Structure 1
């Protein structure tokens, strides 16, 4: 009696490969016979078919080698710094499976339905192929392909021509030329690969619908098991699916899937691999698939979850911007170990949600954390009050809120850092020198829309600025100005330095993507601005154009801003003026565990170390009495040396806090990410309100929610860490 699938069924025998010359002789006979038979029916096509066949002969060796050289797409795993997986990225969900990891039931089910004589032929079913060739020439599309030929076709479609629609069409076109080419490759494969290896290869490459490829992924997704545990009922369902995966999808089309499964069971009985009584019993059973749909991970960063998704998104964006392709990332089968510290990310998420409820309409509160250093700036956390995801009804978003340039209304007075640094570098002022901070100031240097200044000179037009309150003295040291943030003092400094050095400093310290295309940095004005300029005496309005390449409000932080880049500015300052790209990558290994060479952009000494250290000392008073973040620092009993700067834009449209200790830098921002129609927000945002847990709405300032978010997270993360001092100031930058 023939063997049937049981627990002790022996594995399919492996035949000794046929000699290549024998296979080619048989193929030659097939070609000649097919040509004779077809010539009488389709004489005009014979020449063309011959040409295609010759071309196939010339390329078949390369193609058969390519089947072995081009590996199938695999899942890329993204992990945190400790190696714990946080996400999977893939185009085809596939779990590589060895032959001894596949049940006999699965192997015999596939053989019974797709190629009953698999262990008798040498790659081609001669009678079936000849019959198919004749039928194809008369309009019949009979297949008669062996498992080896189907392995070839599926490898071409799912691997080699993946993403190439024309190539996939050619790999499945109904033609004699395609059949002959497929046959030749199949014969060559059988001279190089044992039968069991071919069967295993086919089971690993074939599609099972819903981005599920290969038996390893199918066993898990459909039944929540592994391939070695697949029984006859499960194997019959999966074997039946490969003929037309969408048509026989068990969740979408259960009746068709059941009918197809039962048909496979009949074929297993006919092939004497399943007892009739067992087949009859199984036919009366349900399909047995998982009740809630396939068990497979999300194919993108949504799978990282509401808290880790923003970090995963930055990893993908960073790799793409580094020159890698989406195809490499999603099919390489890599393991990307990131720099994300799960504890830091969790604390950042907690702090962001603690200050602004995730369901607060159109308000984002983000926190980005970077580990400073002179060799690397590693990103350790990217979090927001809003969850990462695609369900808008739950307030989720896939905007890269903590890392992208989504805050289009700006970071406010945090940009005064750049004006101070530029003024010190240009020798205009030292950190302990006194600057003028009048209540109001009318600038005639900077270009922009002319406007009257009612509280200075109602009939004089120019750039008009005032401080946010009447409590400021008329002058103070630059260090005190950084802590208390008078607007007039920094606009006056910006006039003295010139927009060019200020803009250059902004880019050098880290705001590189944020500065791209920034209208406030200068360049050609818009046509309306040119028209207004022609109507006003240039000398009485904004001065010589060459001295005013941008808007005076730049130092007040009105420009679109990335929270991550702002955090990296703090890391650059605390690292002695060394800028490094904010990297999320620790290590990348390929599917074989070998390291993939990956280099970040090199670090740069962007400003003198003495200047950076002195600037850090200048920013060290923001958290103490009189500083704009003093109340937030006091709330968590903060006593560590640190640098910091708050910022609030006009009309409280957005706000920020940027700060650092020697061990960790970060920036928190609150802004409106969406416009009323659900897209990006580029209009006037109105007031942004924060919703601290258990409190009422409050108007937004940098010293409130952003600073409270930063200190809440940092106080927890710094617990147990040594207290490190700030570097000393450099006398060269103390006084000018």
Structure 2
């Protein structure tokens, strides 16, 4: 039976040879299938792609100055030109895989027939597939069908039809590319182990060198690995890798590319691979390190939302120059850690920084007390704490900014107008589902105060009174306009944006629940008390919008994106919008300018660092001291600090001073004016050193 099988294969291959020669010019019909005109066009298209389209490359993420912080990739590959590969590497590969490489024209008929005969009697199959054919197969597996398991299986089927197609492409490639280009092409797509592809990446990862400096021993090991990279991994199977290397050395001797004496000497040498594992960067934002990982994660999330798929981002070979300011980010992280240690269980302290402007709002820092990373025992996390909605307990009274702005825009309220601040207030137009909605103050206040003083002292009753006066629709719409875009869509708006044309009565209805037992109270006045899950970065962008004269821009982390050829790539970013008139924004800024002064909720934190610059600010604390926030900014830089419990958002947080903040089951004593405000002021004091002191804009008489 074995002889009969070998004879049938031999006959089939002879027929295949004749069909292939004819098929170079005409459509091909084979015993195992049909290659039609359409298939012929596909072959030509694929051969052109193999010759002209480069394989996946890693994407580089940099800081604002262009210094790399991370690489993103599915395949670790360093593109390598033919003249950048050592002769030792070329001859090692040719000797073990295709000794007649420089003699055939894509298909080695002599080797193919010899392999068929040898295989029929259990012999060596060397020569069954040329390097050109292997290039085709590896390209299909590692490039064309890299995310398609069925396509990869088809590219490896042991059928006449598949071999026919592969051989035909190989023949066409030989007419389009030189031998050195084909060899380099193969060495750029072939898989090694551990996400390493191509000789450029392999030289660095295995031997910390470049492919032009690979010596005979190193080259022999790499050439041997392509046969079965997973099994011949030198760290998992050093003995197997060494035996295979030695087999390649013997093949080089047989091919007269290495002397027997040198081969025996090299066989006695160790493999020489990097200790502990491959010398290559992390494949994702973990490579940005504990300090810059959160920023890198936001870059990735932002670009995916802007239309670049994750696959393209990780395969496209882009260079992404971000807006990250390393100095500011470092200061921000240190300040967050000073207030809450990174090992503190279930406490996140975040600080996001955005530059105001009428054309762009550039994110310069995204920091947290926790390190970015995979080691949970070391306090690390890959949750995008500063840029996503992990503060599920809310930002407290910082949401009163939206109520104040809505009252100024829709009810003619000025920042110096006197407003009631009773100890308790029952809403006329809203209920809690059963009874009229009633709220009390957390402290003692005078019977009335100006809107400016109310923003600084934060009586609850004043702002629920304003909601009762202007309605929920303008307040919610203002939150969306000033910057709470993703926060409102994903949480506070029950999955959709605020519709300014909707019936205002819809905002008075109790809303569905989410996050377990917590109710989404978007539709009742407690929205102004900051009970909705909140995105820390978007809160910082609210301050940037106010300080930009009412111009909202998306908080962008991207300065420039270029493709693998250095050409600019257009990013689909939302345009800036004048969301409120400039007079209102400037007047609101003045209305928020007393929070750091005596009597304001952040005065103690400001005094502790001897703060003296003009600024805007607003603190926030949620019920039972479950979280706290501080939003603020100067004309040059805006930011928001939030402290919350990301894993289990129940119970309170206790603040016993810097470095001693912890969670409790019951009520705590965390306030926005404590750890969050201290985090903001301690960082901003250092960040603003040497910067000119700029005044806030003047208020408009219309809003005074």
Q: TM-score, normalization: structure 2? A: 0.90
- Distance of 1:119 and 1:505 partners within structure 2: 72
Separation of aligned partners in 2, 1:586 and 1:381: 14
CA distance in 2, matches of 1:603, 1:219: 46
Kindly indicate whether the alpha-carbon contact (under 8 Å) linking 2:510 and 2:524 is maintained by their aligned counterparts in 1.
Answer: no
Gaps of 5+ in 1: 1-26, 36-45, 451-460, 530-547, 676-680
For the residue of structure 1 that corresponds to 2:629, the secondary structure is strand
Map of 1:359-398 to 2, 5 A cutoff? 359-398=343-382
2:548 maps to 1:575: yes
1:687 counterpart = 2:660: no
Structure 1 residues 603, 168: closer, same or farther in 2, change over 3 A? same
Q: Which position in structure 2 is the counterpart of 1:6? A: none
| Distance in 2 of aligned mates of 1:91 and 1:606 | 41
1:667 Cα deviation from its structure 2 partner: 0.2
Q: How does 1:138-153 map to 2 (within 5 A)?
A: 142=125, 144-153=128-137
2:136 touches 2:169 (CA, 8 Å); kept in 1?
yes
Q: Which residue of 1 aligns with 2:54?
A: 71
Match of 2:66 in 1: 83
Query: Structure 2: how far apart are the matches of 1:595 and 1:57?
Result: 35
In the alignment, does 2:439 pair up with 1:465?
yes
Give the Å deviation of 1:343: 0.5
Task: Name 2:312's counterpart in structure 1.
Answer: 328
> Is the contact made by 2:51 and 2:176 (CA closer than 8 Å) also made in structure 1?
no
* Partner residue in 1 for 2:111: 128
Q: What CA distance in whole angstroms lies between the structure 2 residues aligned with 1:111 and 1:241?
A: 13
Distance 2:119 2:428 in 1: 84
* Range with greater deviation from structure 2 (354-363 or 597-606): 597-606
Describe the superposition over 1:1-51 as per-residue Cα deviations: whole angstroms up to 9, x where unpaired: xxxxxxxxxxxxxxxxxxxxxxxxxx997536579xxxxxxxxxx965241
- Whole-Å separation in 2 of the counterparts to 1:440 and 1:137: 94
TM-score normalised over the length of structure 1: 0.86
Please, which of 31, 34, 58 is the counterpart of residue 16 of structure 2? 31
Q: Is the 8 A contact 2:627 2:652 kept in 1?
A: no
Deviation readout 1:508-531 (Å, 9 max, x if unpaired): 0001111125458848646899xx
Alignment partner, residue 269 of structure 1: 253
Is the CA contact (8 Å cut-off) linking 1:53 and 1:181 kept in structure 2?
no
The equivalent of 1:38 in structure 2 is none
Superposition map of 1:180-199 within 5 A: 180-199=164-183
Match of 2:328 among 326, 331, 344: 344
Pairs aligned (count)? 663
Worse-matched range after superposition: 295-304 or 63-72: 63-72
The one of 441, 455, 464 equivalent to 1:491 is 464
In the aligned structure 2, how far is the partner of 1:96 from the partner of 1:138? Answer: 41
Deviation of 1:290 (Å): 1.0
Paired residues for 1:529-568 under 5 Å: 550-568=523-541
Instruction: Confirm or deny: 8 A CA contact 1:520 1:554 kept in the other structure.
Output: no
Cα distance, 1:436 vs. partner? 0.3
Name the SS of the counterpart of 2:624 in structure 1.
helix
Q: 1:225 to 1:32 in 2, by over 3 A?
A: closer
Q: Say whether residues 1:672 and 2:642 are aligned partners.
A: no
**1:97, CA displacement in angstroms?**
1.2
Quick one: distance in 2 between partners of 1:549 and 1:191?
A: 67
Aligned-residue Cα RMSD (Å) equals: 2.5
Superposition pairs for residues 81-480 of structure 1, below 5 Å?
Answer: 81-130=64-113, 142=125, 144-450=128-434, 461-470=435-444, 472-480=445-453
Contact 2:191 2:226 in 1 (8 A): yes
Q: Are 1:604 and 2:590 matched, yes or no?
A: no
Q: Output the CA distance in 2 between the equivalents of 1:169 and 1:518.
A: 43
SS at match of 1:198: helix
Match of 1:710 in 2: 680
- Take 1:147 and 1:636, find their aligned partners in 2: how far apart are those partners? 69
The CA deviation at 1:598 is 2.1
Can you give the 5+ residue segments of structure 2 that lack an aligned partner in the other structure?
1-11, 21-28, 495-506, 515-520
8 A Cα contact 2:321 2:561, kept in partner? yes
Higher deviation after alignment, 590-599 or 644-653: 590-599
Q: Name the SS for the 1:645 alignment partner.
A: strand
Stretch of structure 1 that moved more, 71-80 or 422-431:
422-431
Per-residue CA distance 1:649-688 (angstroms, 9 max, x = gap): 111100000001000000000000012xxxxx4xx23335
- Cα 1:267–1:691 change in 2 (3 A) is farther
Distance in 1 of aligned mates of 2:424 and 2:123: 88
- Alpha-carbon shift at residue 340 of structure 1 (Å): 0.6
CA distance in 2 between partners of 1:391 and 1:691 (Å): 27
> Aligned pair in 2 of structure 1 residues 141, 268: CA closer, same or farther (>3 Å)?
closer
Distance 1:371 1:514 in 2: 20
Match of 1:455 in 2: none
Q: 2:508, 2:51 → 1: CA distance?
A: 55
Question: Residue 446 of structure 1 aligns to a residue in which SS?
Answer: strand
Contact kept? 2:395, 2:622, Cα under 8 Å: yes
**Does the aligned pair in 1 maintain the 2:220–2:249 contact within 8 Å?**
yes
2:534 counterpart SS class? coil
